[in-house]
Amino acid sequence: MKIAIVGCGSRHQMFRNSVVEDYADKHEIVALCDSNAHRLGEAAQAASKPGTNGVATYLAADFDRLIAEQRPDTVVVATPDFLHADYIVRAFEAGCDVICEKPLTIDLSRLKQIVDAQARTGRKVTVTFNYRYSPARTQIKELISSGAIGTVTAVDFRWHLDRVHGADYFRRWHRQKENSGGLLVHKSTHHFDLLNWWLGTAPTEVLASGRRVFYRPEMAVELGLAGRGPRCSDCPVAYKCDFRLDLAADENLRKLYVEAEQEDGYFRDLCVFDEEIGIEDTMQAHIRYASGVTANYTLTAYSPWEGLEIKFQGTKGDITHRHVEVHGVFGGKRAHADEDAITTELHLAGEPPRQLAVPKATGDHGGADPVMLGYIFDPESMQPDPYGRASDHVAGAWSILTGIAANASIETGSLVNIQSMLRARGIHLKR
């Protein structure tokens, strides 16, 4: 398979390295594309095989020429979220399939473009929801599907982003909804996809609230950071700021961003307390599903720890799943959790609760990434997947529709009906 990668920031590295290091006998990266010439050159150097002429590179304005000259079978889209739809549609129209970093896109108008183009062309897009492939999350799918707690009736789901990971969304392009859809789309797409997949259903109504309470100028003053600068690299109070990002201290970040600034003026280390930030850091949603299940969801981006807590209520009992990814954040240092930080408890009515052994694997995202990449790049060598973990444009759409509806609910203060929202835009999706 001939592969072109569009977007050469940090997210493309998983795909690039997988093809170059693990599947070079099956696939070839024939082209790389980015809006930034420096990042493009760095990516090409990393992707080139010794003894060859290297990988062809194209600036973003030349994407159509890339397609015409290199004729890739598949385009990997790893650009900022608001650009996904444009490249997906253009790849479809050129006869290519697509592998897309999450989220599929950020709003209804772009979603309609993708859905309509897929219907016209018959091409396919795979959305890389790696959380589905984690052994611990797959175990939850097995328990629910087997009827271990009977019929699931309600879910409580809390996701905590710590003050390193969470803060990072407020210093770069994600900080504006027109770029990312906000955290309820960009980040929560993973979580809403898990709920859709675990429960085997789709959301119908959403009522949400959200606001920015922590990453604000007033908090900077409260933390003793009055007189802060616009970015970390030249901030006069950076020496005492726990949120400082030193791009120059990390070789990968320095090459990707510091050395690339002169090309496009994109700064990766903007102050997380800026007034003009346009996304929320505290969000809650009540979600109703077609199956009758209801869920309460919370996301915070300034927690003292990172991970998830989820409880499934069922007619026979409940399942409680907890994953502590990072124990704490103190002065910008992260204490990563140990191997026993994932727990799953099964509590059936009339019986004492039981701690279940949680399966483990090696690799990024709890062992999820190698499994997912195996199914994407070498499916013939993988066992048939009884869990249905592959995600197409339909799964990608349903994963963002909860967040899009939640954003609309925050804006209007009203309950949002997703089918009404889709009908108003002429978007037709199967469940």
Residue 268: how many other CB atoms lie within 10 Å:
21
Domain 2-130 top-level CATH class: alpha beta
Q: What is 132-214+278-360+392-425's CATH topology? A: Dihydrodipicolinate Reductase; domain 2 (3.30.360)
Question: What pLDDT score was predicted for residue 362?
Answer: 81
* Beta strand pairing call for 317-330 and 342-348: antiparallel
Question: What pLDDT score was predicted for residue 67?
Answer: 97
Residue 276 Cα distances to 28, 35, 179, 272, 430, angstroms: 42, 24, 14, 10, 38
CB 78, CB 11: distance < 8 Å: yes
Question: ∠299-303-304 over CA atoms, to 5°?
Answer: 155
Tokens of 301: 């981006």
CB 157, CB 191: distance < 8 Å: yes
Q: Which phi and psi (to 5°) does residue 365 adopt?
A: 55, 50
CA distance 81 to 403: 14
Neighbour-count burial of 362, counting CB atoms closer than 10 A to its CB (0-12 exposed, 13-18 middle, 19+ buried): exposed
132-214+278-360+392-425 shares the fold of 2-130: no
Give the predicted TM-score (pTM) of the model: 0.95
Question: ∠150-395-124 over CA atoms, to 5°?
Answer: 140
Q: Which residues contact 146 (CB under 8 A, 6 or more apart)?
A: none
Neighbour-count burial of 411, counting CB atoms closer than 10 A to its CB (0-12 exposed, 13-18 middle, 19+ buried): exposed
Question: What pLDDT score was predicted for residue 335?
Answer: 73
Please count the residues of the chain: 431
Domain ranges in the chain are 2-130, 132-214+278-360+392-425, 217-264
- What is the torsional sign of CA 72, 76, 82, 85? positive
One pLDDT digit (tens) per residue for the chain, 431 residues: 999 999 999 899 999 999 999 999 999 999 999 999 999 999 999 998 876 778 999 999 999 999 999 999 999 999 999 999 999 999 999 999 999 999 999 999 999 999 999 999 999 999 999 999 999 999 999 999 999 999 999 999 999 999 999 999 999 999 999 999 999 999 999 999 999 999 999 999 999 999 999 999 999 999 999 999 999 999 999 999 999 999 999 999 999 999 999 999 999 999 999 999 999 999 999 999 999 999 999 999 999 999 999 999 999 999 999 999 988 766 556 777 676 799 999 999 999 999 999 998 887 777 889 999 999 999 999 999 999 999 999 999 999 999 999 999 999 999 999 999 999 999 999 75
Question: What pLDDT score was predicted for residue 50?
Answer: 76
Question: What pLDDT score was predicted for residue 53?
Answer: 73
